[in-house]
Amino acid sequence: MKKVYCIGEVLIDFVAERQGSDLSKANEFTKKAGGAPANVACAISKLGGNGIFIGCVGDDPFGKFLLETLKEVGVDVSLAQLSDTFTTLAFVSLSEDGERDFVFSRGADKELKYNPDLRKNLPGNILHLGAATALLGGPLEKTYSKYLFDGLTKEMFICFDPNFRSDLWKDDEDTFIKKCMPFVEKSHLCKFSQEEAQLISGKEDLHEACDVLHKAGTKIITVTLGKDGTLLSMNGAKKVIPSVKVAPKDTTGAGDAFIGCLLYQISDLGNFGPVFEDFSLVENMVALANKAGAITTTNYGAIVALPTKEQLEK
Ligand code: ATP
């Protein structure tokens, strides 16, 4: 079983208890561990894989809570870093019209420093870059580029998920697209939502979008389509792999469950070669990852709702 190094954002989401009002009126909040790459590491470890999380938290009670939460589901956090800066916090509420009201207090997650020791660990293993806040500047953005460009790209399997957050890039989508492109060029697998594939490629039509993104460099593309499944594009072929029918309660973390399950399966292969050559192999993997995504929507919260191997096999 190969290791999957998930690098980037980890934070606390304070979710307003009574939805339907904006943050100015919210009085009670529930504390939840969040951050896409951290969720992906949890998804992999809950399935029995080797999820390793590398991110930075504050040396404070919230940072302690985050690392403990990850450890509880079996994630290796021994390479996580502590900073003097406070743990990153996000406050979220849904207003009456369904709009998200969002205040983001960016702290320690951006302080992640490059770890040269990883040079010897990464070859032969998987690197997952689940960007989210990583492209917003600070040492973390430099760290991301270093892991991508230090000559190791051929020796590992690299996965990129841009995790576009409209709240964070409202007036600067062009910069977001420009910052994503080097990662699309160098990654072997890219996971996009429909919105991300269209935004980054500049194409409405998803088949055309995939063609533009393949041309940029990435060999395998998955575009997650919620209840409609996932579009897989590789080796000149494209196919929508249907999702599993469920009664969803909360779709938070479905995308992270999906990519975590896909990477877990890739990590279980002896070598990465077949992933690039065998469409039907990857199609079957995507079908199982769809199931992981669907199961996650049937429960509230992200990490709690991620399936275990037993739940996935049922
Ligand atoms: P996130 O907001 O977590 O980043 P995403 O937009 O990347 O999510 P989604 O498309 O919402 O990802 O979900 C990922 C996968 O989970 C889908 O491809 C699908 O297989 C499954 N899934 C999501 N929502 C549903 C649903 N309502 N019913 C069945 N399956 C679903």
pLDDT digits (tens, 9 = 90+) for 169-223: 888 999 999 999 999 999 999 999 999 999 999 999 999 999 999 999 999 999 9
* Residue 174: inside a domain: yes
* Atom 21, ligand 1: residue with shortest CA distance: 293
Ranges assigned E (strand) in the chain: 3-7, 11-16, 29-34, 50-54, 56-58, 81-83, 89-94, 100-105, 126-130, 157-161, 189-193, 220-224, 230-234, 237-241
Comparing 233 with 251, the larger pLDDT belongs to 233
Q: Which of 56, 38, 54 lies closest to 46 in space, CA to CA?
A: 38
Least trusted range by pLDDT, from 10-19, 189-198, 225-234, 256-265: 10-19
Pocket of ligand 1 (CB under 6 A): 193, 224-227, 229-230, 243-244, 246, 248, 251, 253-256, 258, 290, 293-294, 297
Three-class HEC string of 61-93: HHHHHHHHHHHHCCCECCCCEEECCCCCEEEEE
pLDDT digits (tens, 9 = 90+) for 127-145: 999 887 888 888 999 888 8
Distance 240 CA to ligand 1 centre (A): 13
Q: Which residue has the higher pLDDT, 301 or 74?
A: 74
Interval between CA 301 and ligand 1 midpoint (Å)? 14
Higher pLDDT, 96 or 216: 216
Residue 92 lies in a domain: no
Alpha helices by DSSP H, listed for 81-132, are 118-121
How many distinct structural domains can be found in the chain? 1
Q: How far apart, in whole angstroms, are the C-alpha atoms of residue 163 and residue 35?
A: 10
Domain of residue 249 covers 3-8+34-86+109-305
What CATH number is associated with residue 250? 3.40.1190.20
Classify burial at 244, counting beta carbons within 10 Å of its beta carbon; exposed 0-12, middle 13-18, buried 19 or more.
middle
Contact in structure between 145 and 158 (CB atoms under 8 Å)? no
How sure is the predictor about 41, in pLDDT bands with cuts at 50, 70 and 90? very high
**H helix runs in 192-272, sequence order:** 194-201, 206-216, 254-267
In the prediction, which pLDDT does 302 show? 79
Residues in the chain: 314
Is residue 286 one of the residues assigned to a domain? yes
Residue 101 lies in a domain: no
- Confidence check: pLDDT of 117 > 90: no
Residue 289 Cα: closest atom of ligand 1:
20
- Ligand 1 centroid from CA 139, angstroms: 31
The reply to whether 147 falls in a domain is yes
Rounded to whole angstroms, the Cα distance separating 122 from 5 reads 8
The answer as to whether 127 is a domain residue is yes
Whether 61 has a pLDDT exceeding 90, the answer reads: yes
Instruction: Report the atom number in ligand 1 closest to the C-alpha of 36.
Output: 4
Q: How far apart (Å, rounded) are the C-alpha atoms in residues 108 and 133?
A: 11
Nearest CA to ligand 1 atom 6: 193
- Other Cβ atoms less than 10 A from the Cβ of 178: the count is 12
- The answer to whether residue 21 is domain-embedded is no
**Alpha carbon nearest to ligand 1 atom 20, residue:** 290
Residue 97: the pLDDT is: 67
Q: Establish if 103 belongs to a structural domain.
A: no
> For the segment 288-297, what is each residue's pLDDT rounded down to a tens digit?
999 999 999 9
> How many CB atoms within 10 Å of residue 239?
16
ipTM: 0.97
Ligand 1 probe mutation, 192, 227, 291, most atoms within 8 A of CB: 227
